[in-house]
């Protein structure tokens, strides 16, 4: 029984269930271990190997989620701040939503992994979340999902209807341009040039009027190009100019790793930023400063000018 070909899609499934890449890797591994230990009891006449694996994965995820608080983004916790100079105090007691490093598990499946959608899914009860993913994303039949969750087809259909209604305001995937879209790349390239030059007016020109900037684990967030620009001015005043950027992809969205200049030369990793581009403008930037996120993306903590040129 060869389970390895399923690892990538299991990690993606567990990630959307939990909102944590690190937990997703652990739970996918636990799923495969349980499947291997139970391989002698697998009956291919009752279910395909993939269906059987997802039944195990769903049980593993539901167990992990029992009594667990949801993983939010700052914008899911309250109103935006109106003070671009507010203290940047991390809320380390909150388990924040994490981004997904696309390059780690690129299985060629173009399913919807947007941060905003994954964040919205965390609001669903865990079993509703599982039904939505199993039916809408993984395209199992209602009967298969009923078997996986040990419930009825009517209960599955009812849960799916409620989940769809709860996510109706998230927006359709086709509103968000793909990260490899040339128009998106052009916007991100312009953003990178403005960011590296610490050119705040140029950055603001690339934003929608109601652009959102949020920075987990800091619980603050801002809405509107004006406050976004004021906050970026503060960042450049604090950390100086001469930043360097490496372009990446996260959650099927364009992303960049931002390196701040160090006094003695070279650059230190500052943040991972994940963008939503709509209509040729940046509509949202989720800025992560968690070292565990950096580790998941394989980002070096420091980089020299020569190393940066090689990577870029």
pLDDT of residue 106: 67
The span from the CA of 91 to the CA of 97, in Å, is 13
CB distance 97 to 71 below 8 Å: yes
What would the pLDDT profile of 176-197 be if each residue is shown by its tens digit?
556 678 899 999 999 999 999 9
pLDDT of residue 180: 72
Q: Based on the fold, state whether residues 229 and 83 are members of the same structural domain.
A: no
Q: Which residues pair with 284 in a beta bridge?
A: 212, 276
Q: Based on the fold, state whether residues 27 and 166 are members of the same structural domain.
A: yes
Greater confidence (39 vs 174) lies with: 39
- Matching residue, tokens 């403005």: 194
Q: Based on the fold, state whether residues 235 and 146 are members of the same structural domain.
A: no
CB distance 204 to 229 below 8 Å: yes
Closest CA relative to residue 248, chosen from 305, 296, 307, 183: 296
pLDDT of residue 264: 82
Q: Based on the fold, state whether residues 182 and 286 are members of the same structural domain.
A: yes
Q: Based on the fold, state whether residues 96 and 223 are members of the same structural domain.
A: no
Q: Based on the fold, state whether residues 222 and 96 are members of the same structural domain.
A: no
pLDDT of residue 163: 93
Q: List, in order, residues 6 or more apart from 170 with CB less than 8 Å away.
A: 116, 117, 120
Domain holding 47: CATH number?
A: 1.10.10.10
Mean local confidence (pLDDT), 201-223: 97
Q: Based on the fold, state whether residues 141 and 15 are members of the same structural domain.
A: yes
What would the pLDDT profile of 77-121 be if each residue is shown by its tens digit?
999 999 999 999 999 999 999 999 999 876 545 568 899 999 999
CB distance 256 to 294 below 8 Å: no
Distance of CA 140 to the CA centre of its chain: 24
CB distance 118 to 75 below 8 Å: no
pLDDT of residue 175: 53
CA distances from 107 to 110, 184, 251 (A): 9, 22, 13
Q: Based on the fold, state whether residues 158 and 179 are members of the same structural domain.
A: no
Contacts 24+ apart (CB under 8 A), 138-144: 138/9, 138/13, 138/54, 140/51, 140/54, 144/47, 144/51
pLDDT greater than 60 at residue 74: yes
What would the pLDDT profile of 19-42 be if each residue is shown by its tens digit?
999 999 999 999 999 999 998 888
Domain range for 93 is 4-171
Mean local confidence (pLDDT), 12-17: 96
pLDDT of residue 169: 73
Q: Based on the fold, state whether residues 165 and 17 are members of the same structural domain.
A: yes
- Matching residue, tokens 């992990």: 64
pLDDT greater than 70 at residue 276: yes
pLDDT of residue 186: 95
Cα dihedral 42, 45, 51, 57 in deg (nearest 10): -20
Q: Which helix (H) or strand (E) holds 281?
A: strand 281-288
Q: Based on the fold, state whether residues 10 and 95 are members of the same structural domain.
A: yes
pLDDT greater than 80 at residue 266: yes
Read off the pLDDT band of 174 (50, 70, 90). very low
> What's the number of domains the chain is made of?
2
pLDDT of residue 44: 83
User: In the listed set 171, 189, 219, which residue is the last one of a domain according to the structure?
Assistant: 171
pLDDT of residue 167: 87
**What pTM was estimated for this model as a whole?**
0.92
Supply the mean pLDDT for the chain.
Answer: 91
Q: Based on the fold, state whether residues 38 and 15 are members of the same structural domain.
A: yes
Establish whether the linkage from the previous residue to 119 is cis, with ω within 30° of 0: no
What would the pLDDT profile of 226-258 be if each residue is shown by its tens digit?
999 999 999 999 988 899 999 999 999 999 999
Read off the pLDDT band of 2 (50, 70, 90). confident
pLDDT of residue 110: 54
Read off the pLDDT band of 310 (50, 70, 90). low
Q: Based on the fold, state whether residues 192 and 86 are members of the same structural domain.
A: no
């Amino acid at each position: 029984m060869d389970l390895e070909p399923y690892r990538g899609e299991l990690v993606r499934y567990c990630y959307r269930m939990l909102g944590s890449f690190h937990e997703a890797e652990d739970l996918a591994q636990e799923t495969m271990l349980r499947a291997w230990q139970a391989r002698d009891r697998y009956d291919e006449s009752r279910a395909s190997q993939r269906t059987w694996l997802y039944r195990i994965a769903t049980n593993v995820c539901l167990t992990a989620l029992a009594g667990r608080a949801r993983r939010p983004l700052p914008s899911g916790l309250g109103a935006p701040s109106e003070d671009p100079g507010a203290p940047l105090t991390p809320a380390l007691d909150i388990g924040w939503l994490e981004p997904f490093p696309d390059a780690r598990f690129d299985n060629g499946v173009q399913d919807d992994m947007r941060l905003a959608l994954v964040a919205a899914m965390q609001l669903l009860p865990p079993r509703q979340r599982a039904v939505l993913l199993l039916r809408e994303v993984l395209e199992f039949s209602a009967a298969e999902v009923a078997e996986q969750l040990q419930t009825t087809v009517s209960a599955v259909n009812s849960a799916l209807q409620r989940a769809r209604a709860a996510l109706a305001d998230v927006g359709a995937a086709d509103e968000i341009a793909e990260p490899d879209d040339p128009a998106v790349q052009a916007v991100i390239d312009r953003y990178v040039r403005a960011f590296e030059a610490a050119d705040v007016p140029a950055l603001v020109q690339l934003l929608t009027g109601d652009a959102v900037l949020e920075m987990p684990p800091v619980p603050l967030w801002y809405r509107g190009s004006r406050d976004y620009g004021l906050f970026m001015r503060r960042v450049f005043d604090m950390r100086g100019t001469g930043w360097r950027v490496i372009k990446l992809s996260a959650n099927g969205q364009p992303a960049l790793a931002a390196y701040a200049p160090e006094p003695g030369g070279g650059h230190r990793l500052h943040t991972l930023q994940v963008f939503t581009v709509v209509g040729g403008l940046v509509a949202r930037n989720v800025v992560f400063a968690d070292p565990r996120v950096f580790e998941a993306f394989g980002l070096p903590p420091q980089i020299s000018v020569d190393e940066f040129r090689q990577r870029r």
